[in-house]
Amino acid sequence: LGFQVAAHGRGTGTDANAIQLSRAGVAAGLISIPNRYMHSAVETIALDDIDRAADLLAAFIVSLGGDEDFTP
């Protein structure tokens, strides 16, 4: 599966950011899907991107061995 990795030096403006920073914090990951006209009545995405994002998340979950430590 193809993907790009990007690190954000500040908040992403998503719920993942709030969850990561609340109380003692928790490990959080974010899969972003390309779109146009975000937060409008005509927000547009490619349905293939949704399918590929789901495939990426499923592949990540399957790759987990059960002994990972995601403690921040």
Q: How far is CA 44 from the centre of its chain?
A: 18
pLDDT in tens, 43-72: 999 999 999 999 999 999 999 999 998 876
**How far apart, in whole angstroms, are the C-alpha atoms of residue 57 and residue 72?**
20
pLDDT exceeding 70 applies to what percent of the chain? 99
Name the one residue in this structure whose structure tokens are 């790009």.
Answer: 4
